[in-house]
Amino acid sequence: MSELTSFKLLSFDVYGTLIDYERGILTALQPMLEKPNTPTIDPKHILKVCHEVQAPQQRENPKQKYSDLLAAIHPKLCKELGLQTPTEEESRTFGDSIPNFPAFEDSVEALHRLKKVYKMVVLSNVDNASFSANNNSATGLQGFEWDLVLTAEDIGSYKPSPENFEYMLKQAKEKFGVEKAQVLQTAQSQFHDHHPAKDMGIKSSWIYRSNQTLGNRDNPVYNWKFDTLAEMADAVEKELAEGK
């Protein structure tokens, strides 16, 4: 197997990998969960249902902005969970919640360490405005400077569509002269990232995030596995120190 330092570009999933997407979703849904006579619901069940209503919405509406898509699935999510029917304003607030999603504690520091070695590219399902606001938030990625940001809004489809990975590879070649063999998909979600990357012949680094459940599959595939992005940065720095 090639070494981590043999790659030139890291293609990042953001939500679930760098940003605690699950905590963000659960917090955004909290107003509905706090209404009178609402039963206690297991957070893992909420997230499972969220994935179940979101995945078909993404397939059927590939050009819908992610903030609009979240607003659209909010009533369906509430219905499936047995919650009250939300108002349009409540659904819109849910869709606009992405800028408030928090980063994992290790994300920003690890990104800066990795940027010393690689071109850093976003390949995200989130729309441009939501990503920009979250990336520049003090509780988000604190203004981290990416070499390239590619979103579902730019591409016109959502991961796990192969179109997203084809688009990323084309941009990597055109903008940086980087070939597919020099790209490492860096992500948490098996569903959105690792399985389609493998199908495309792209190597991947699984940032496992053991407390995350969305995007998991029974048959995980990956070339490297780390519990956190900081651990991956440690491994890269160790290779460099050893002269690999």
Residues designated catalytic: 13
Q: Which two tokens stand for residue 93?
A: 């607030």
Amino acid letter at 106? D
* Residue bearing tokens 């917090």: 27
Sheet containing 9-12: order of strands: 148-151, 119-124, 9-12, 183-187, 203-207, 224-226
The verdict on whether omega for the bond into residue 160 sits within 30 degrees of 0, i.e. cis, is yes
What are the tokens at 220? 């995980």
Retrieve residue 66's tokens: 């992610």
